[in-house]
Amino acid sequence: MRRTEFEIKVWAALKKIPRGRVTTYKELARILGRPKAARAIGNACGRNPDAPETPCHRVIKSDGGLGGYSGGINKKIALLKKEGVKILKGKVENFKNKLYKFI
């Protein structure tokens, strides 16, 4: 499995997300210097080798939607709820509040 530099950067950023908070694909793209690569970011997350260890489940869509998860969307929801993040109608409740910005 060849890991590209791009993926490494994405996974590294993921680890900075505090427990109980979330971030968006867009925010990650912005921080990594590729503001329009949100889509590519999502793909990179999916290729993450060591799942729950790298909090790829704390990444959601910019509109509060859940996005997806390699291990099954249910798994993602379970992990988030476990950290105190509530899901309502397929979206993170009050996500703007829990959104983590790398600044």
Least distance in angstroms from the C-beta of 18 to DNA: 17
Q: Which residues contact 7 (CB under 8 A, 6 or more apart)?
A: 44, 47, 48
Which residue type is seen at 58?
A: R
Least distance in angstroms from the C-beta of 84 to DNA: 19
Least distance in angstroms from the C-beta of 71 to DNA: 7
Judging by DSSP bridges, how do beta strands 23-24 and 59-60 pair with one another?
parallel
Q: Which entry of 37, 56, 80, 85 is annotated as an active-site residue?
A: 56
Q: List residues binding DNA (CB under 7 A).
A: 1-2, 4-7, 24-26, 34, 36-48, 51, 56-57, 59, 61-63, 65, 67-70
| Cβ neighbourhood burial of 16 (10 Å; 0-12, 13-18, 19+) | exposed
Residue 45 designated active-site: no
| CB-nearer residue toward DNA: 18 or 39 | 39
Q: Compute the radius of gyration of the chain from its Cα atoms.
A: 12
Catalytic positions are 56
